[in-house]
């Protein structure tokens, strides 16, 4: 059963590329790039406007993300998925992004669309949820 099907507009950005190292007192801290924080803020805003944040999903789902990038430059799918998982948690769509909630990313892939970069997000309840719950 589909729990959510939504499109987030804007060029998807990974969290790990171009990280910033900042100094806080005598310690150093690694922060995501400004480009990522801007993307995350915009994505969370779009999800809140769609009222997707009312879901707060806390059961196993297959999170399928189809990314449409504006260039054919190679990009790391795993890093994109991790960033989208984190955005869905920040937007309160998912209660967490651990293995008990984001159980799979089946069907996720990267495609090309020069004019409309975006990510199409589909969250589907795992068909074997009851079996999953009993074995957990």
pLDDT for 134:
58
Q: Is residue 33 part of a domain?
A: yes
CATH number for position 31: 3.30.1330.70
Closest CA to 60 of 112, 96, 6, 7: 96
Q: Bridge-partner residues for 66, per DSSP?
A: 109, 120
Task: Count the domains in the chain.
Answer: 1
pLDDT for 19:
67
List all residues 6 or more positions away from 93 whose beta carbon is below 8 Å from its beta carbon: 4, 47, 52, 53, 55, 56, 57, 123
Per-residue pLDDT tens for 113-133? 999 999 999 999 997 655 655
pLDDT for 28:
81
| Positions of the chain with pLDDT lower than 70, given as ranges | 17-20, 52-53, 128-136
pLDDT for 2:
92
Q: Is residue 135 part of a domain?
A: no
Residue 108 structural domain: 2-129
DSSP letter at 131?
A: H
Q: What is the pTM of this model?
A: 0.85
């Amino acid at each position: 059963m589909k729990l959510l099907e939504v499109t987030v507009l804007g060029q998807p950005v990974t969290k790990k590329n171009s990280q910033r190292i900042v100094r806080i007192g005598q310690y150093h801290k690694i922060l995501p790039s400004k480009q990522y924080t801007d993307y995350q803020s915009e994505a969370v805003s779009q999800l809140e406007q769609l009222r997707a944040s009312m879901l707060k999903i806390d059961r196993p789902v297959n999170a399928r993300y189809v990314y449409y990038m504006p260039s054919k430059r190679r990009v790391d799918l795993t890093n994109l998925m991790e960033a989208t998982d984190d955005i869905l948690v920040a937007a309160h769509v998912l209660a967490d992004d651990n293995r008990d909630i984001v159980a799979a990313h089946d069907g996720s892939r990267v495609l090309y669309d020069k004019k409309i970069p975006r990510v199409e997000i589909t969250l589907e309840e795992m068909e074997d949820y009851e079996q999953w719950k009993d074995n957990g």
